[in-house]
């Protein structure tokens, strides 16, 4: 089953208020909570909704990116193929440890520059992990303008 994965990038002074707001809105506590990071894995609707504080130069509070989470390698490959056919810009990260998860992922952007992450996760981690230099660069520029 595919999950829509939304990240909301919030200012550090508003993180606690945001967690409280979404806990009330969703009617449940976050599935994962770490310092400056909270994630809800909801079944109805099937959504992986994350609020985190990202301190990346040039980034602004608000929706940082959207994405599609899949369970199987074949589904991730099908999305990669669709992005290739759509001639979308593609950053193939591959296997990585990021956002408290062991995962495999790709990044793209739609024609308006909205960042999309496509990924599958293998399990949770106790540490945040690290983004690649290419991913960090993606956070501060419009990937679509390069496509």
- Domain ranges (residues) in the chain: 3-146
Under DSSP, is residue 73 helix (H, G, I), strand (E, B) or coil?
helix
Give the fold, CATH level 3, of 3-146.
2,3-Dihydroxybiphenyl 1,2-Dioxygenase; domain 1 (3.10.180)
- Checking if the pLDDT of 33 tops 90, the result is yes
Indicate whether 23 pLDDT > 80.
Answer: yes
Asked if 94 and 138 count as a contact pair (C-beta separation under 8 A), the reply is: no
- At 50-105, the pLDDT tens digits run 888 877 666 667 777 888 888 888 989 998 999 999 888 888 887 776 767 778 89
Strands, sheet with 62-69, edge to edge from the N-terminal-most edge strand: 32-34, 37-43, 46-52, 3-9, 62-69, 115-124, 101-109, 91-98
Identify which has the larger pLDDT, 63 or 38: 38
Residue 11's pLDDT is what? 59
The model's confidence at residue 137, banded by pLDDT at 50, 70 and 90, is low
- The pTM (predicted TM-score) of the whole model is 0.71
pLDDT, tens digit, 9 for 90 and up, residues 102-122: 788 988 888 878 888 888 988
- Contacts of 40 by beta carbon, 8 Å cutoff, 6+ apart: 22, 26, 28, 30, 31, 47, 48, 49, 50
HSE of 59, CA atoms in CB hemisphere, 13 A: 23
Please provide the average confidence, as pLDDT, over all residues in the chain. Answer: 79
């Amino acid at each position: 089953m595919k999950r829509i994965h939304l990240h909301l990038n919030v200012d550090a002074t508003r993180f606690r208020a945001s967690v409280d707001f979404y806990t009330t809105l969703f009617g449940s506590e976050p599935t994962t909570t770490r310092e400056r990071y909270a994630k809800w894995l909801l079944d109805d609707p099937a959504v992986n909704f994350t609020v985190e504080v990202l301190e990346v130069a040039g980034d602004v509070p608000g929706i940082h990116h959207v994405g599609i989470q899949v369970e199987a390698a074949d589904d991730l490959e099908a999305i990669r193929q669709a992005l290739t056919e759509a001639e979308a810009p593609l950053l193939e990260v591959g296997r990585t440890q990021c956002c408290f998860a062991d995962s495999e992922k790709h990044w793209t952007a739609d024609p308006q520059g909205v960042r999309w992450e496509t990924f599958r996760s293998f399990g949770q981690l106790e540490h945040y992990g690290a983004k690649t230099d290419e991913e960090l660069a993606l956070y501060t520029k419009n990937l679509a303008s390069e496509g």
